[in-house]
Structure 1
Amino acid sequence: MLPLNVKSLLEKQQYRIVGRHSAVKVCYWTRQRLTQGRACYKELWYGNVQSHRCMQMTPFLGCNYRCAYCWRIHSGDRPEYVWQEYPAQLSELDDPAHILEEAVRLRRSLLIGYKANPLVDQKVFEEALKPSMVTFSLTGEPTLYPRLGELIGEARRRSIVAYLVTNGSMPEVLENLNPLPDQLYISLQGSNEEAFKKVARPLVKDAWQRLVKSLELLSSLTGVRRVLRITVVKNINDSDAEGYARLMSIANPDYVEVKAYEWVGESQSRLPKNAMPWMSDIVALSEKISGASGYVKRGEFEPSGVVLLSRS
C-alpha cells in the first residue's frame, strides 16, 4: 500500500507499521504521563481513560480527505512522496486480531526505553505496557477498513475500551457498525459546505452530504458516548457559530470539543502559522456556539487548546 520511502519517513517519525495497512505510535500524552505525571484532557473529562495506557493507532493508513490541518504527509505534499492514497489498492486485508496484537507488541517496543528513565515510576511503566484503551485515529480514516466492527470486537474481548474518531465520510459503515465503540467522535472541518471543502479538501465528491448523513445517524445511536470535534483553523472555519449549532442540532451529541488547530508537522507547509488560534479565540468561539446551541461549557484545557461543551 505504501511506498518504501513513505514507510521509512513514518518510521523516522516514530510510527510503527502494522502489517499491510495499519500503524501505531506512542501518544504525546502517554509520554507526558510517564515522565511528568500529566494527563490528557480525555482522562480529565471522560473518566474511562488512563493516558499512559491509551494506545493510539489506525487500522487503515489511507484517507479520503486531505485536511489542510493534518500533521501527516499526504501524497504529493512533496515531489518525492507520491502514491495512490485513495482509493487504496489492497489485495488482502489483515485480520483484526492480528492487527491488535501486533499494535500492542510494537507499541511496547516503542515504550521499552522508558524503563530506565529515572523520571518514570516503574508501576506506571508496567501498566503502560498493557493498554486498557485504544483510540482508532492517529492517521488515515479508520472507517475505510472493512473489518472495523470485528476490530472493535477484538478490543472488547480483551477488556480494552475503544474510541473511534472518524471524518464522517462513510455513513454506511457507521450505520452497520457492530459492535459500536465506547466513544464515537465525528470531526467537523467546517460549519458549512464552503468552509468544509477549504479545510477537508475531500477526495470524494459528495463528502459534505455524506458527513451530514453521518451526523443524522449519530443522533440515533445508543449505548455509545457521542462527541463532535470541531478543529478550528483561524480565518477559515472560525466565524459561523450558528452554522455549528445547526450541525449540532442534527447530530445531538453528548459532548462537543472545540479544539485549536496546531501548527505542527506537514501542516506547516499548507497553512501559515497565524492559522493556529490562540486559546482566547477558542474560548470566544465556544461561547458563541454555546449561546447558539444551548450547550454549556464543562471545561477547558489550554495545553491542548480545547474547550468542552455538553448538553445542559
Structure 2
Amino acid sequence: MPRKRPVSKTPKTCLHRQGYNFIAEGASAAVKPCMWCKRALRGGESCYKHQFYGIDTWKCVQMTPTLRCNQRCLFCWRSMEHEILSETELSPEEIVAAIPKMQKKGLSGDKPYTEPERWEEATDHPTQYALSLSGEPTLYSKLPELIDLLRENPNNSVFVVSNGTMPSVIRRIRPTQLYLSLDAVDESSYERICRPIGDPAAMWGNIQTSLSLLKQKEEEGVRTAVRITLVNEYNDTYEAGFAKIIEEAQPLFVEVKGYMYLGYSRMRLTEMHVPDMETIRRFAAGVAQLCNYEIMDENVPSRVVCLKRKS
C-alpha cells in the first residue's frame, strides 16, 4: 500500500511548498516568482505584460503585502482554502528590504540556466513590482506608503491589482498602473461569482465608487485598466452590461482574460467553464463595439485580449 503524504498542519506550510516565500514569521507578506519570470530569466518567452505594456518580465517581482482577502471568487486559482486568519503587519521598509533575498530564494533553481548579467538584473536590480500574488492589497493598511517607497527609484514601476472594494485606499495610492477587477455587471452576478465576505450590496457599491475614481487616477498620472475574467456559464453573455460600466469608468485599457482551469479553482469549477480563445475574441469584440474602445492586441498563451480606449 502506498504511503500517504503528510498533511500540512498550517496554511503557511502548504503555501511555502507552493513557492511562497514569506518575509517574516507571523506575517503573510510574501514573494513568489511566476512561471513567466522564470522562463524569461532563462532567455525564454515573456508574459503578456511585456507585450502590452513593455515591462521586462525577468526583472518583475510578484509579491503581496498581505494574503488576506474579502472575496472568494470562484475562478481564483489562489489558495483561499488555506486562509490566513491573522497576521502581523510589516512596515513598508521591512517588506522592501526583504524583497531581494526573497526573490533570489524563489529563483535560485534557475540560476544555473541563466546568463550572469540577466541573473543580476533579476535579483539585484528588479524594476517592476506586481502587487498581485494573492490576497487583496488594499487590506494592507500601509499600501500607499509601500507603493511610494517602491517608486522612489525612478526606474521602478508598480502594478497594483485590486478588487475595488476599498475605494478609500484607491483614492490614496499612486501606482504606475492600477488594475480593477470587474467580473460581474450587477449585485446579483457579483455575489454569485465573487462571493464577497460581508454585505454584497455595500461591497458592490464600493466597487462602483472605485471605478468612478479611474478618471481622477489617470489625471494623477496613474495608468488605469479594468480586467474581466471570463467564465463560461457565469459572465460570458454580459457584453452589454460590461460595456455600460466600462464606458462610464473610462479606463485606458480593458483586459478580457479567459478563466483557466488551474490551482485551487479546480475545486470549484470544471474544464467546461474555460472559454477558448475564439470565445474570448468574440466577447472582447462585442464589448468594444458597444463602447468607445478598440482591440489593441492579444496573447494566446495567456488567453487575453486587450482593448484600448479610443482617443
Matched with 2:115 is 121
Matched with 2:76 is 70
Matched with 1:181 is 175
1:24–1:106 Cα contact (<8 Å) kept: yes
Whole-Å Cα distance in 1 between the matches of residues 69 and 185 of structure 2?
21
Q: Is 1:44 aligned to residue 51 of structure 2?
A: yes
SS in 2 for 1:115: helix
Match of 1:195 among 189, 204, 219: 189
Total equivalences in the alignment: 295
Segment drifting more, 13-22 vs 223-232: 13-22
Whole-Å Cα distance in 1 between the matches of residues 41 and 72 of structure 2?
33
Match of 1:214 among 210, 224, 229: 210
Runs of 4+ in 1 over 3 A off after TM superposition: none
Equivalent runs, 1:1-312 vs 2, <5 Å: 5-19=10-24, 20-47=27-54, 49-74=55-80, 77=81, 85=85, 89-90=86-87, 92-117=88-113, 120-129=114-123, 130-159=125-154, 160-177=156-173, 180-205=174-199, 206-221=202-217, 222=219, 223-312=221-310
Deviations 1:230-271 (A, max 9, x none): 011111011111110111122110000000011100100100
Name the amino acid aligned to 2:129: V
Whole-Å Cα distance in 1 between the matches of residues 43 and 186 of structure 2?
40
Task: For residue 103 of structure 1, report the CA deviation from its aligned partner.
Answer: 2.4
Matched with 2:3 is none
1:196–1:237 Cα contact (<8 Å) kept: no
Whole-Å Cα distance in 2 between the matches of residues 182 and 176 of structure 1?
13
Identity of aligned residues (%): 35
Whole-Å Cα distance in 2 between the matches of residues 53 and 36 of structure 1?
12
Segment drifting more, 34-43 vs 293-302: 34-43
2:181–2:228 Cα contact (<8 Å) kept: yes
1:219–1:250 Cα contact (<8 Å) kept: no
Whole-Å Cα distance in 2 between the matches of residues 190 and 141 of structure 1?
18
Structure 2 portions without partners, runs of 5+:
1-7
Structure 1 portions without partners, runs of 5+:
none
Whole-Å Cα distance in 2 between the matches of residues 165 and 199 of structure 1?
18
Q: TM-score, normalised on structure 2? A: 0.91
Name the amino acid aligned to 1:58: T
Task: For residue 123 of structure 1, report the CA deviation from its aligned partner.
Answer: 2.1
Name the amino acid aligned to 2:240: E
1:55–1:131 Cα contact (<8 Å) kept: yes
SS in 2 for 1:186: strand
Segment drifting more, 278-287 vs 155-164: 155-164
Task: For residue 105 of structure 1, report the CA deviation from its aligned partner.
Answer: 1.3
SS in 1 for 2:42: helix
Whole-Å Cα distance in 1 between the matches of residues 96 and 211 of structure 2?
28
Task: For residue 84 of structure 1, report the CA deviation from its aligned partner.
Answer: 6.3
